[in-house]
Chains A and B, each alone.
Chain A
């Protein structure tokens, strides 16, 4: 599994995303630039210029037409994927930590940072999927997180719920229609923030990662913790792989402590765990800084990771990855034949 190194960014990566077809990778970094890449060979497709601060987040709509980004310049922006044209800018009182489209692409969610005078909020806008159309400035929903600030959030199946991860390690479920808090569950260790939340393809369950060195699979309907993956390092990101029942976890010693430790110590590896048996299967080395984000190809044929070291590493899985089966899985496969 020889990775492709995408070295187009000058500073630490913050998020990487595949489009639903898996042919494009979008990456954002602290260097203010959004890049789009071809996933199969790592050529650059284009860049999106306009942000005035470090970028924290990116998402692409299900039709690969619209791109949403958010960053430290307190704006959330909407771009046309094909042309790089800036379609819309929403301004806020604090930076945007996370953006995500709803499954059908008609809604866009943003998470705002908590800052003096500004509480952390989750905002939702109605989106017109046509790039030529005028976009609204009207928020369709605004959820204020006054207990503990939200760090990550996303839409569940049918855009019924909004699931958010918080700084205090809890995960909450809001009604996506009226923004009412339904549940709040202490999923991770207290005061160790939830760092990522990614969805299974059908959005009935998600995986959260946390600084408490664990990742957990959580049922989107009940917020029940279904699986727990224990590692030995603070985690920044976790992803669920389609086709194979694995999860990929990324993290490493916090960036500020890295200078004092060797790469061996930093544990800058992508870790593969079996989703159902919760056992570690393998690791992929390569980054020389913590992994800030891991994203999986929607068809499950590869993954890419963005690191604090400024590189995106794109991996295409080998045959062995697809062939690997536990004995009981093999039995099950035989029984289904």
Chain B
């Protein structure tokens, strides 16, 4: 019989608490009591001196120790051994525990002279970690967990229909979907509260990043399980290296890591830092940094100018080998990976540097064997020195090219995706500083000596510029003078540029193709594969137009414009669409579809998305309340060789035939299903109606069967009354003689 409450002994005299062994629980849940020893530190690594020189040593050490806090009077105790010599360590008491912590943080590892390095530890730590039994005397082989097969992180690429995935964040739900063109997207996974602020894909689509108050998590694989976790309390933004090897996390709040606020994987080293660079494979932090406070400048009237934070602050080279951060106006620090040590142990001093950008691919330069990473930077006019744009190689730090510029008020650096060109958009003011104009300085990185071509035919300010990915054409948007304090945004003009045709396959000079005036456009989105471009007006109440352009339109020969004959482009507007409240445009990674989003992050009107094909045909639109994000899953670079790709391109006709058939078959089955469904609904309804009428007949419901009308006596003898109204408007008599 199980003991019940009644027959439990009321008092157990033999019970003795002291006999129970609590030591296992003690060990497990050991609580660090406040022992009043928090203000003590142990200083190790001191020189061994005879007793008479002890005060001298104490005085010497005190000088160091007092630099971080106040050591109590007589707070240094340096014991002697049997031979009357000091033992090389000392106990030090500070006035406050916080000073002791500061001493540990700042003085630990300080060299005293060539031979001696001071080791400063908290007394309580020594007690805690150095206690007998805490540390095994013998080395124990760590246990290696058995190998476990992990999921394939790129399984989504094997979709039999070659579809693309996208993540959608709406309300509290985050879901990954297959794009099914006109049909509703097929759910892959859909979870509530997957992220706390936003989601982001890694650059090659392997991981989905979710943001939480405690840190960042990466998800992936077929089951969408957690792949990695990076704890960074209060994290605001993340940035991946291009090849997904490293990740940078940033929080505007400095990290707080100490004994009372332990953070997994982070050590005291990270305390007070804002940025952490992590290794994704191991999940461990590599190095952490604090935010550099940029001295905020003042504008013409002396008001402080609010500096926008540049993100990413740490910019990655295309091969993941270097990451660099600029200290505005002074220098650029380049760190080598995977050790995160500063290249050549020093900053690269560039006086006045305003901005820099890495080449997005390893640049192939004429006559150079060893391709190096390259970045482009610019400096403003300093005193009598002109403004400069420069290209620097890393790691050799050789300046490949510089160019002097005058009357520069601002510059923007635009690399072409293959690093074949870099275009520096230079806003130049006139001598009176009253009007602005824009020049384009295009560096042809691949050609010998990096020649610079200048496009100075633009009269207005360029507000947006974009290179064709993998191509050599570009689009820019200009606007006239911006009248101060008007609600209506000024009209803009969209201009297209392409190189001239030259013999021998070289790239000719850039020439203007066409300008479209009186637009409201402000954004340029190229297809990731080039050729097609969407020019749109985003985040505007008044206009929400999308123009779909083709730059290699196949026109019949005789219709060709004389002007554009010798250009490597054939511009054609394919379609125009509208999406009210549009805030974002996303091309899918294959360049087949364009998703436009009205995000609840920006406004609350008609949130949702539209799906277009590359020609601007609307495939689908869906309004979803609280719709926040739609991002296509990026694809890693193709594994096919150049030859294989050309082979496919050659046989495109054959492939497309198969695809067309597949599409047609799919459409037919879908249509058939819809029709079947409707037929079923109709039959069901008619059947139900019949049963109702039958029921009403049985009930003798006359009124209802007569369509709700009461038959009255005069219904039979209804007479039709016709009323003719004659109105005499005017009467006049005339005598005809």
- Whether A204 and B708, one on each chain, are in contact in the complex, defined by CB atoms closer than 8 angstroms, is no
What is the distance, in angstroms, from A225's C-beta to the closest C-beta of chain B?
A: 13
Specify which chain B residues have a CB less than 8 angstroms from the CB of A158 in the assembled complex. 696, 699, 701, 704
Q: Which of A242, A264, A328 contacts B707 (CB 8 A)?
A: A242
Which residues of B in the span 186-219 have a Cβ within 8 Å of any Cβ on A? none
Instruction: List residues of chain A with CB within 8 A of the CB of B606.
Output: 265
Query: Which of B605, B688, B703, B708 is within 8 Å of A298, CB to CB?
Result: B708
Contact B692 A327 (CB under 8 A): no
Bound-complex Cα distance A201 to B623 (A): 34
The 10 closest A-B pairs by CB, nearest first: A202-B704, A204-B692, A201-B708, A328-B678, A276-B685, A62-B710, A201-B707, A157-B704, A328-B679, A103-B703
Given A157-B696, A232-B623, A202-B685 contact (CB < 8 Å): no
Closest to A298 in B: B708
Chain B residues within 8 Å of A20, by CB: 708-710
Which A residues touch B681, using CB under 8 A?
A: 276-277
Given A20-B708, A202-B708, A265 and B703 contact (CB-CB distance below 8 Å): no
Q: Chain B residues with Cβ under 8 A from A199's Cβ? A: 708
Quick one: which of A124-157 are within 8 Å of B by CB? 157
A211 to B22, CA, bound (A): 62
Contact: B710 with A63, CB < 8 Å?
yes
Q: Among the listed B682, B688, B703, B708, which residue makes an inter-chain contact with A332, where contact means beta carbons less than 8 Å apart?
A: B682
- What chain B residues lie within 8 Å of A332 (beta carbons)? 682, 686
Q: Is the Cβ of A104 less than 8 Å from the Cβ of B712?
A: no
- Residue ID in chain B nearest A61 by CB atoms: B710
4 more contacts with CB within 8 A, not counting A199-B708, A201-B707, A277-B678, are A158-B704, A276-B681, A298-B708, A327-B678
Interface string of A177-201 (1 = CB under 8 A from B): 0000000000000000000000101
Contacts of A201 in B (CB 8 A): 704, 707-708
Output the nearest chain B residue to A105 by Cβ-Cβ distance: B710
CB pair A327 B675 closer than 8 Å: yes
Interface: B224 (CB within 8 A): no
Interface of B is mostly: helix
* Shortest CB distance B198–A (Å): 25
Q: List 16 A-B contacts (CB under 8 A).
A: A62-B709, A62-B710, A103-B703, A103-B704, A103-B708, A158-B701, A158-B704, A201-B707, A202-B692, A221-B695, A265-B605, A265-B606, A275-B685, A277-B682, A328-B682, A332-B686
Q: Are A104 and B696 in contact (CB under 8 A)?
A: no
How far apart are the CA atoms of A104 and B701 in the complex, in Å? 10
Which residues of B are at the interface with A, using a C-beta cutoff of 8 A?
580, 605-606, 623, 675, 678-679, 681-682, 685-686, 688, 692-693, 695-696, 699, 701, 703-705, 707-710, 712
CB neighbours of B685 from chain A (8 A): 245, 275-276
A329 in the interface (beta carbon within 8 A): yes
Complex alpha-carbon distance, A273 and B465, angstroms: 46
With contact pairs A226-B688, A264-B580, A332-B682 given, residues A204 and B696 touching in the complex (Cβ less than 8 Å): yes
When distances are taken between beta carbons in the complex, the residues of chain A under 8 Å from B682 are 276-277, 328-329, 332
Number of A-B contacts (CB under 8 A): 73
Specify the chain A residue showing the minimal Cβ separation from B671.
Answer: A327
Contacts of A329 in B (CB 8 A): 682
Bound-state CA distance A326–B678 (Å) is 9
- Once the chains bind, are B710 and A204 in contact (CB under 8 Å)? no
Q: Is A203 at the interface (CB under 8 A from chain B)?
A: yes
Which residues on B sit within 8 Å (CB–CB) of A226? 688
> Do A204 and B704 form a contact, CB below 8 Å, given A63-B712, A105-B710, A277-B678?
yes
> B708, A203: Cβ atoms under 8 Å?
yes
CB distance from B543 to the nearest CB of A (A): 14
Q: How far is the CA of A226 from the CA of B679 in the complex (A)?
A: 16
B19 CB to nearest A CB, Å: 59
Contacts of A327 in B (CB 8 A): 675, 678
Bound state CA distance, A21 and B692, in angstroms?
24
B599 to chain A, nearest CB (A): 16
CA distance A103 to B710 in the complex (A): 8
Interface residues of A in 317-337 (CB under 8 A from B): 326-329, 331-332
CA distance A242 to B707 in the complex (A): 9
In chain A, residues 54-109, which have Cβ atoms closer than 8 Å to a Cβ of chain B? 62-63, 103-105
Q: How far is the CB of B266 from chain A (nearest CB, A)?
A: 46
A275 to B689, CA, bound (A): 13
B703 interface neighbour in A104, A245, A275, A328, Cβ under 8 Å: A104
The interface residues of chain A lying within 8 Å CB-to-CB of B699 are 157-158
User: What separation, in Å, do the CA atoms of A62 and B681 have in the docked complex?
Assistant: 33
User: What A residues does B679 contact at CB under 8 A?
Assistant: 328, 331
Measured CA separation A201–B606 after assembly (Å): 37
Task: Give Cα A79 to B286, complex, Å.
Answer: 86
What is the bound-complex CA distance between A327 and B672, given in angstroms?
12
> Chain A contacts of B688 at CB under 8 A?
226
Q: A202, A226, A276, A329: which has the most chain B beta carbons within 10 Å? A: A202
Closest chain A CB from B648 CB (angstroms) = 40
Q: Which residues of A contact B623 (CB under 8 A)?
A: 232
Take A158-B699, A232-B623 as given contacts and tell me if A202 and B707 are in contact as well, using a CB distance cutoff of 8 Å.
yes
Distance of B678 from chain A, by nearest CB (Å) = 5
Contact residues in B for A104 (Cβ distance below 8 Å):
703, 710
Residue of A nearest to B679 (CB): A328
Instruction: For B675, list chain A residues within 8 Å (CB).
Output: 327-328
Q: How distant is the Cα of A276 from the Cα of B683 in the complex, in angstroms?
A: 10
List residues of chain B with CB within 8 A of the CB of A204.
Answer: 692, 695-696, 704
How distant is the Cα of A159 from the Cα of B399 in the complex, in angstroms? Answer: 94
Residues of A within 8 A of B701 (CB): 157-158, 202
CB-defined contacts of B686 to chain A, threshold 8 Å: 332
Q: For the complex, what is the distance from the CA of A290 to the CA of B709, rounded to whole Å?
A: 31
Q: How far is the CB of A273 from chain B (nearest CB, A)?
A: 13
A158 to B675, CA, bound (A): 37
Mark each residue of chain A from 273 to 287: 1 if its CB lies under 8 Å from any CB of chain B, else 0.
001110000000000
Which residue of chain A is the closest to B684 with respect to CB atoms?
A276
* A303 vs B692: C-alpha distance when bound (angstroms): 26
- Which B residues are CB-close (under 8 A) to A331? 679
Measured between beta carbons, the chain A residues less than 8 angstroms from B705 are: 202
Q: Which of A13-70 contact B (CB under 8 A)?
A: 20, 62-63
